[in-house]
Chain A
């Protein structure tokens, strides 16, 4: 099957984030918590428009994909994550970009904060 032209694909934004938490957590825990906060803050209808997906997560850093028109809503719902698995946690968005490659290069590679 031929791939869709880039101009026809749905546009995305990729938010690079770091997780600051009391205890290490897995990707699936983050997904569960992010979706539940988003649906609590924005409602199921807007959350479905946001198209939030956690793409990768390792060493406390990762990338979240969202629709390019809903970056604000996605950031707000990431801010409302206060606990993951019952332990205190904060998601800090490092920046957003239009491609996974650029988001990784710009925000995830390089010196880390301790």
Chain B
């Protein structure tokens, strides 16, 4: 087994965040990531399709974080953006949105599902998430910035979700949700923080490397892909 590759799947570049995409990408590379996904909020998209910065030995993926209160509009947004995006994140925050996101297998990640006094997940939704392969995003930025009461709330929500995720085998994704270079943390620190917050070491490692890789594999289809279940494979030692 080689060195794991680390990915950060929720980074907001300008105009959603403070820093531009190339700045974020080069800083993430310096911190030891193998790739990031630029996932701006869908209500703050730039006018034209941004050009992804290309840096040697580092991958930048096109992502989006959908913000929509209405579940049926959310579903149509998912349909609209799905094919052009490597990573599709839904910004949760109400019962209806969480449910719509977790019941849609075309969604990759549900971020900050917590609302009012609920952690955002329950047994039914966790089961749906596991069936549809939607991962729950653990965002770092609020954990870093808040102190005291608000962080305690965040942590108890996180632990409630973690317990459900373990029970129903829902995958987790650790992401920074960075709006500036100063919100990015290196993979090792992210894992350390996740462990202090209650994840096991292998869970944290999976959440930052293998689960993102699996999402990419699912969305980046090989050159011979025709439709679900049919793929033209080339090469000599296939059989």
Q: How far is the CB of B230 from chain A (nearest CB, A)?
A: 45
CA distance A90 to B31 in the complex (A): 11
**What separation, in Å, do the CA atoms of A82 and B182 have in the docked complex?**
7
Task: Known contacts A79-B185, A92-B31; decide if A40 and B195 are in contact (CB<8 Å).
Answer: no
Q: Is the CB of A93 within 8 A of B182?
A: no
Counting residue pairs across A and B whose Cβ atoms lie within 8 Å, the total is: 51
CA–CA, A82 and B192, complex, Å:
16
A-side contacts of B148, CB under 8 Å: 40
Within B183-204, the residues touching A (CB, 8 Å) are 183-186, 188-190, 192-193, 195-197
Is the beta-carbon distance between A79 and B192 smaller than 8 angstroms? Answer: yes
Pick the contact of A80 from B30, B143, B186, B188 — CB < 8 Å? Answer: B143
* Bound Cα distance from A54 to B195, whole angstroms: 23
Residues of chain A with a CB closer than 8 A to B190's CB: 79
In the bound complex, residues from chain A placing their C-beta under 8 Å from that of B197 are 76
Interface residues on chain A, size class: 10 to 19
Is A76 in contact with B189, judged by CB distance below 8 angstroms?
yes
Residue among A40, A41, A79 making CB contact with B189, cutoff 8 Å: A79
* In the assembled complex, B180 has its CB within 8 A of some CB on chain A: yes
Inter-subunit contact A90/B185 (CB<8 Å): yes
**Size range of the interface on B?**
20 to 34
A25 within 8 A of B: no
Determine which residue in B147, B180, B181 has the highest number of CB atoms from chain A within 10 A of its CB, and name it: B147
B193: chain A residues at CB < 8 Å are 75-76, 79-80
A80-B143, A82-B182, A92-B31 given; A73·B196 CB < 8 A: yes
Known: A40-B148, A93-B189. A76 touches B195 (CB 8 A): yes
Contact A93 B195 (CB under 8 A): no
Given known A79-B192, A113-B30, contact A92–B147 (CB-CB < 8 A)? no
With a CB–CB cut-off of 8 A, which chain B residues contact A40?
Answer: 147-148, 151
Partner of A75, one of B31, B144, B147, B188: B188
CB distance A82 to B144 under 8 Å? yes
B214: CB under 8 A from chain A? no
Residues from chain A with Cβ under 8 Å of B31 in the complex: 92
Within 8 A of A (CB), among B16-60: 30-31
**B144 and A20 within 8 A (CB):** no
Q: How far apart sit A82 and B181, CA to CA, in the bound complex (Å)? A: 11
Who on chain B is nearest to A37 by CB? B147
CB of A34 within 8 Å of the partner chain:
no
In the complex, which residue of chain A has the Cβ closest to the Cβ of B193? A76
Q: Is the CB of A72 within 8 A of B182?
A: no
* Contact code string A85-114 (vs B, CB < 8 Å = 1, else 0): 000111011000000000000000000010
Residue B145 interfacial (CB < 8 Å): yes
- Given known contacts A73-B196, A80-B193, A113-B30, A92 and B144 CB-to-CB distance under 8 angstroms: no
Q: Is A31 an interface residue (CB 8 A)?
A: no
A52 CB–B CB distance under 8 Å: no
What is B's interface to A at a CB cutoff of 8 Å?
30-31, 143-145, 147-148, 151, 180-186, 188-190, 192-193, 195-197
Interface residues of A (CB under 8 A from B): 20, 40-42, 71-73, 75-76, 78-80, 82, 88-90, 92-93, 113
